[in-house]
Amino acid sequence: MTAEVAGAVPRPDRHRRRLDVGGALVCGASILLVLAVVGAGLLTRYNPTEIVGTARSAPSSAHLFGTDQLGRDVFARTLFGGQQTLTIAALSTLLATVVGVPIGLFAGYVGGLRAGVSMRVMDVLLAFPGILLALIIITIGGTGRGSAILAVGISFVPVFARVVYGSTQRARAEEYIAAAKVVGCSSLRIMVRHVLPVVLIEVVVLASSAIGWTTLLSASLNFLGFGVAPPTAEWGADLGAGTRYIAQAWWISAAPGLAVTLTILLSNFLGDYFAKRLSAPRADVVAATPTELAAAPAAELTTPRGT
Amino acid sequence: MTHPPAAPLLSVDDLVVTFRSRGLFTRRPPVHALRGVSLHVGRGQTVGVVGQSGSGKSTLARTVVGLERPDSGTVSLSGEVVAGTAESLAGLRRHVQMVFQDSLTSLNPRRSVLATLAEPLIVHRTVPRSGIRDRVAELLQAVDLPAGYMARRPAQLSGGQRQRVNIARALASEPELIIADEPTSSLDVSVRAQILELLQQLQRDRGLSYLFISHDLHVVRHMSDVVVVMKSGAVVEVADKATLYATPHHEYTKELLAASPTTRLALARSAARGRSRFADQPG
């Protein structure tokens, strides 16, 4: 009759989750995309920078996506181009995470004037369109892959800082944070041990969506000519090069364009999937377990709570 | 630390805490949570604090443990002023611990009982790393929980068990004073008596002092040597238990006593219930 009987409260049920078909499809497709790009050399016999056929020939069995303005294989260029685009996207997302998360965590937890100032700086950066900010950084740092990673990464730092700042502020108000302070934990310990694990869930969701945004931004920079140098294949650069022949040979632009679109779609779906999966009502944050409720007589559950 | 023999363990003198909402666009009037509160807790003593919601009881608790900063006034421990400065808080935190009202929200849902109870031991380096497990087992034993509960997370414990973990966490740094802020109000009635009995037993065994905060006059009477009545952020009456309940002086105390059906009912109820409940050990 009392709720204090040992073993009455079972472990929260975690494994009885129904298979999520949509989630499995999105994860599978994402893995396939990455594998195809990483293993580009195994999927095509053509060298992406070598002239292998007549210029601007339409898609055929020999050249699945046709050939480009110089006679290079578009399928090979699209696969190898992904290596450039996705590397820039992944590394810049990593950069934005590594820089943005500590800024948001610190500002959100410590608060005060310094936090206010750093978040206002983030707000100013956030107010710039990403492409403009990236172009400013390119102007300072010059073109090239490293500079593109830096530019895209820095453009997304405020996004991560903002999100982490907000969720840190929410986490900071938790009673168990007050309890950790009373116990004697340092601010650093509380941030790392108590706040970061909560915030990381949102960071995972954000980062998986951000891959799409950084892909778009890095393709845009390359489209404008501020990325990798020709003849290296890259989605944005190839898309840009194909625009001059769009009336005669649409496939030159279409293939890398579709690749960018697919990446952004998958990344957004992946973000949604993680958001749903990680924030689903968890057994360990529900107020009382069903067994506990069953163990206590109904009358006792209506006991009014004090201040 | 020097201990002047006359100094009580905890002295709160003329404590003033005001909450101001500072916003760019919002201006609300400041809330005077504490308006000059003074009280003393002697060694081994339990001082109960009663008052309605909003009387400043919880703010008092949070200021004494250093979660809120006083605008003025002092909190001293064994005659040494501890409230306000950061260095002194580090020392304070070993000697003054707190049991929170809500047993669920005051435990990190992601951390196991072991991780929660090990934290004060790690932070204060009172126990070598290799001895932490044994010490946590001792702490669990002290609050009548089996050592096997170390691996559990808060959601896998009942309300009463969680509050026992909270008490064990407060005990971990071997404090002299424990602030108990409504420690039983989030619990089922059936478990309340057990937790109160545990607190009393720990006091006897370890010579603890309590600042015991509750809105429940019956519980305060059961636990305290001295009772402090608070209203609107100020102390309106201080008296030893017997005097307060027999001959309340302040109008507000009389109102509280009159308004509390538990005062008389609960006495009858606890007599009828007998002591069998206290013997209930969790599995």
Q: Record the pTM.
A: 0.80
Give the CATH number, domain containing residue B213: 3.40.50.300
- Domain layout of chain A by residue ranges: 81-226+235-276
pLDDT value at B247 more than 70 = yes
CB–CB of A182 and B65 under 8 A?
yes
Task: From chain A, pick out residues whose CB is under 8 angstroms from the CB of B119.
Answer: 180, 183, 185, 193
Nearest chain A residue to B282, by CA: A4
Task: From chain A, pick out residues whose CB is under 8 angstroms from the CB of B69.
Answer: none
Determine, yes or no, domain membership for B147.
yes
* E strand or H helix at B228: strand B226-231
pLDDT at B188: 87
Task: From chain A, pick out residues whose CB is under 8 angstroms from the CB of B90.
Answer: 184
d(CA A143, CA A137): 10
d(CA B253, CA B231): 9
CB–CB of A303 and B188 under 8 A?
yes
pLDDT at B89: 62
Say what the ipTM of the complex is: 0.84
Confidence of residue B175 (pLDDT cuts 50, 70, 90): very high
Q: Are B115 and B132 in contact (CB under 8 A)?
A: no
Q: Which residues of chain A have pLDDT under 70?
A: 1-19, 280-307
d(CA A27, CA A17): 17
d(CA A46, CA A66): 12
Determine, yes or no, domain membership for B205.
yes
Angstroms from B124 CA to nearest CA on chain A: 7
CB–CB of B190 and A197 under 8 A?
no
Domain that holds residue B57: 10-273
Determine, yes or no, domain membership for B182.
yes
CB–CB of B185 and A306 under 8 A?
yes
CB–CB of B123 and A185 under 8 A?
yes
Domain spanning A81-226+235-276: CATH 1.10.3720.10: yes
Nearest chain A residue to B61, by CA: A182
Determine, yes or no, domain membership for B112.
yes
Q: How many CB atoms lie within 10 A of CB B37?
A: 26
Determine, yes or no, domain membership for B282.
no
Question: Which candidate from B65, B94, B107 shows the least CB-CB separation from A176?
Answer: B107
Question: Which candidate from B156, B185, B189 shows the least CB-CB separation from A9?
Answer: B156
CB–CB of A2 and B191 under 8 A?
yes
pLDDT value at B134 more than 90 = yes
The more confidently predicted of residues B16 and B271 is B16
Burial of B27 (0-12, 13-18, 19+ CB in 10 A): exposed
Angstroms from B215 CA to nearest CA on chain A: 7
Determine, yes or no, domain membership for B278.
no
Determine, yes or no, domain membership for B279.
no
Determine, yes or no, domain membership for B220.
yes
